[in-house]
Structure 1
């Protein structure tokens, strides 16, 4: 074990050290990409109407609102001689997520699918939030942007591969059609592969990455004993919410509009694009299932473009400082126009062009806000603040699910389902412009 502590000056890490500590995110993103790309397809297969889909998603963000701050709080106060501070949570989350991925596509009713989505999202959050904190734990401030960008590179790879899995296994001969109310085997096999990758990549990170212990381990344990207990923990979390740093609140505005846009995509891209581009609306037909595969593959393009963009940012951030605020602003606006361009699509191949722009925004969303936040908050509270920061991810999703999407797109743009993508684009452009309110120099410079 290194003599470096979590609170002392940290040495710079090599690319491969950062890669190893972030590799588990490949599995996490397999879970998220399969969930984001194919849950609405599963819901439609089980009989859900388009307008009902956002409400079926609501368990996921509601769970995140509760789970993320608690996991962040607990991981700040955990130290295992064998697994360290964050890795116990990686392992627990990976096991539960893999189980949910395996059984999800075997749901026989909407309530079962929504329940498995709840379990899956809660379990992914158990693994994910400590991963964000681990980057800040292990890296000095001048490597934070670099570290989060490497993480984003891995996420991009996971998004692209996982989004293409149903189409790939279909080409390998797995059935892409099933009787009414039954999820096709192509989706079942894709989710099984996702479960295997999830647990495998998490184990890789656990075995290849060591964590820095607290500076004074005995004092750390005594402090946690004296402040232990559920009520004290809840009180401290609430105190941290009330004393949230100003830069975190401003970043929260950016996050709100960003994640409203992406939740709109995850819940409505399949019904909107199978209808608008392929004129396919009946989940029991081969036309719809082929169209859903193509939409899923096109969504994989945003993972691929985010990977390429992240590669470019890895090169830049390893050598130069950047202005995180303006980089994030421009990236989000490009993604916004990617969404809006979907209204002009007349051929399926054009979907990939739209998702290229969306991928640029996605790469920035997964790196720049966390780099800005981690450079401007107390390192001792990194876990709980990273967990609280995700309030600004789940709250917009809850708003969207409770009618924010259905009401707003119909009121502003009209009844056509493709207008949900127009709403997503406008929201992402607003997120980009909201970066102008961030003036904290530590957050901006990276």
Structure 2
């Protein structure tokens, strides 16, 4: 570390590791809702009439939010002079907006019906409901903007508060809370009984699947508000005007500063951006279509087919959400041991290992999909009944992928935070926003290309997963060649022990 970083840390109040952990609870609240999005929303939007090939377009809001919201919010939070702190005003505003968007999405079917969609009961009508779909997509886009407005400042705040514990510890704590939120979210997504516990949510335009989504989102709002409250009280930020008076007086354009940051990145940052982009490019088809894959390729259901096919598809989605729950359990455990692993093998080796495991996982998904498709007799009853080995294999793959996902959620951000800290540590928010650009560019390719790519080789998700496998392998070898070695100092105090 240089002297600039040392002087900054000496001015910041040191907090205990326990308080640092509680300061990050908002990550669990946001991730709870994000897990529901990943497990339930792609299947749900297809029940409103959006074809599978076009469903990926919906996810373009992520790249747009990443390009615009991520770096801009990061820059503004770096310069924020509020007495409430630099990051907490953005976290509070973003969380409140998330709550509003979740309500809009959950009640989109009812709102669409009120605006003129079909009055036919949802249990018999399987056609498009375009007004509900438009409302849903608008809510989803704003929700993704809101998620970005919270996650960037939250990560930057953890870097600000990390002090003696180090940037790596802060990012591992963040990954742990993300895993915790995933566990709760995927548990909710795999539970098909919400409509029985809250029968008043069932309406003429909102049947069991819709009511389950609605109830799970209402619970997500309550959980997010609880996590937000804990974070706001635990993260006692020092106002920037007291911490860095000269920094607070600076102004300038966010966009100009972003371009300037790209031109003056730390020495190892371009390599981190390249490998991050390749890693996310390999991950996005699974992240966007994991439960849809279970419903289509493993259970052979169809969200726009007959009632029996829809029920079968929903069963596969629930099983996929359960697989993501197992995935999150492994993610949580892994996030607690990544610190020792990085100290022993270096973060570069651990990151590359994650890419190679991802390659094996995506290849296994492709092979399993082919086996399941070839074994399918064309009868829905036989698809639900077996073969059990294929379904157990799918759950095993979901579980194993928790290890490389924990790496993805922590190590790239830890590397970026540490490289920024090595040059003074004054721009954590902006640097994390810049790193976010290397995440959203792959999502653009996947969102625009996965539909035509699947259509080129036939309907379904198999072609996208096959491509992911090859990209993960390439990313591993490129990372081996170009990733920088982070100094051992950055890995100190990165375990969850010694909570005093």
- Shorter-chain TM-score above 0.5: yes
- Answer yes or no: is the 8 Å Cα contact 1:22–1:205 preserved in 2: yes
> Which of 262, 265, 276 is the aligned partner of 1:244?
265
> Which of 216, 220, 223 is the aligned partner of 2:247?
220
Q: CA deviation at 1:234?
A: 2.4
Q: CA deviation at 1:409?
A: 5.6
Q: CA deviation at 1:141?
A: 6.8
Equivalent position of 2:171 in the other structure: 148
> Which of 330, 351, 366 is the aligned partner of 1:343?
366
What pairs with 1:380-419 in structure 2 (closer than 5 Å)? 380-403=426-449, 405-408=450-453, 416-419=460-463
Change (3 A) 1:382 1:251: same
Change (3 A) 1:14 1:434: farther
Q: CA deviation at 1:150?
A: 1.7
> Which of 475, 478, 484 is the aligned partner of 1:431?
475
> Which of 298, 311, 314 is the aligned partner of 1:286?
311
What SS does structure 1 have at the residue aligned with 2:166? Answer: helix
Q: CA deviation at 1:432?
A: 2.8
- Answer yes or no: is the 8 Å Cα contact 2:301–2:311 preserved in 1: no
Q: CA deviation at 1:330?
A: 0.6
Out of 262-271 and 67-76, give the one that drifted further. 262-271
What pairs with 1:108-187 in structure 2 (closer than 5 Å)? 108=112, 109-140=132-163, 143-168=166-191, 170=193, 173-174=196-197, 184-187=210-213
C-alpha distance in 2 between matches for 1:253 and 1:45: 37
What SS does structure 1 have at the residue aligned with 2:151? Answer: helix
Equivalent position of 1:203 in the other structure: 229
- Answer yes or no: is the 8 Å Cα contact 1:156–1:303 preserved in 2: yes
C-alpha distance in 2 between matches for 1:185 and 1:161: 18
Cα-to-partner distance string for 1:240-274 (whole Å, 9 max, x where unaligned): 22333342221111121222233212332233221
Q: CA deviation at 1:216?
A: 5.1
Change (3 A) 1:141 1:7: closer
Q: CA deviation at 1:136?
A: 1.6
- Answer yes or no: is the 8 Å Cα contact 1:341–1:354 preserved in 2: yes
- Answer yes or no: is the 8 Å Cα contact 1:373–1:443 preserved in 2: no
Equivalent position of 2:415 in the other structure: 372
C-alpha distance in 2 between matches for 1:129 and 1:153: 16
Cα-to-partner distance string for 1:360-384 (whole Å, 9 max, x where unaligned): 1110111111111111123111111
| Aligned: 1:326 with 2:328 | no
Q: CA deviation at 1:179?
A: 7.0
C-alpha distance in 1 between matches for 2:214 and 2:254: 40
| Aligned: 1:269 with 2:269 | no
What SS does structure 1 have at the residue aligned with 2:262? Answer: helix
Q: CA deviation at 1:178?
A: 8.1
What SS does structure 1 have at the residue aligned with 2:390? Answer: coil
Q: CA deviation at 1:288?
A: 1.9
Which consecutive residues of structure 2, in runs of 5 or more, have no partner in the other structure?
Answer: 1-5, 113-131, 369-388, 492-500
Out of 198-207 and 426-435, give the one that drifted further. 426-435
Change (3 A) 1:259 1:313: same
| Aligned: 1:93 with 2:132 | no
- Answer yes or no: is the 8 Å Cα contact 1:78–1:84 preserved in 2: yes
Q: CA deviation at 1:357?
A: 2.2
Change (3 A) 1:271 1:308: same
C-alpha distance in 1 between matches for 2:102 and 2:46: 18
Change (3 A) 1:118 1:6: farther
Equivalent position of 2:67 in the other structure: 65
Q: CA deviation at 1:397?
A: 0.4
Equivalent position of 1:301 in the other structure: 326
Out of 360-369 and 59-68, give the one that drifted further. 59-68
Larger Rg: 2
Cα-to-partner distance string for 1:212-239 (whole Å, 9 max, x where unaligned): 4446554333x23xx25xxx33222222
User: With structure 1 as the length reference, what TM-score do the two structures score?
Assistant: 0.88
C-alpha distance in 1 between matches for 2:158 and 2:490: 17
Q: What RMSD, in angstroms, separates the aligned Cα atoms of the two structures?
A: 2.8
Out of 374-383 and 284-293, give the one that drifted further. 284-293
C-alpha distance in 1 between matches for 2:14 and 2:399: 32
> Which of 349, 352, 355 is the aligned partner of 2:395?
352
User: With structure 2 as the length reference, what TM-score do the two structures score?
Assistant: 0.79
C-alpha distance in 1 between matches for 2:53 and 2:95: 32
- Answer yes or no: is the 8 Å Cα contact 1:268–1:420 preserved in 2: no
Cα-to-partner distance string for 1:312-342 (whole Å, 9 max, x where unaligned): 235667xx56501111111232133223222
- Answer yes or no: is the 8 Å Cα contact 1:375–1:443 preserved in 2: no
- Answer yes or no: is the 8 Å Cα contact 1:160–1:304 preserved in 2: yes
Change (3 A) 1:233 1:150: closer
C-alpha distance in 2 between matches for 1:206 and 1:106: 29
Equivalent position of 1:80 in the other structure: 82
C-alpha distance in 1 between matches for 2:459 and 2:267: 39
Cα-to-partner distance string for 1:363-408 (whole Å, 9 max, x where unaligned): 01111111111111231111111111100111110121122x2345
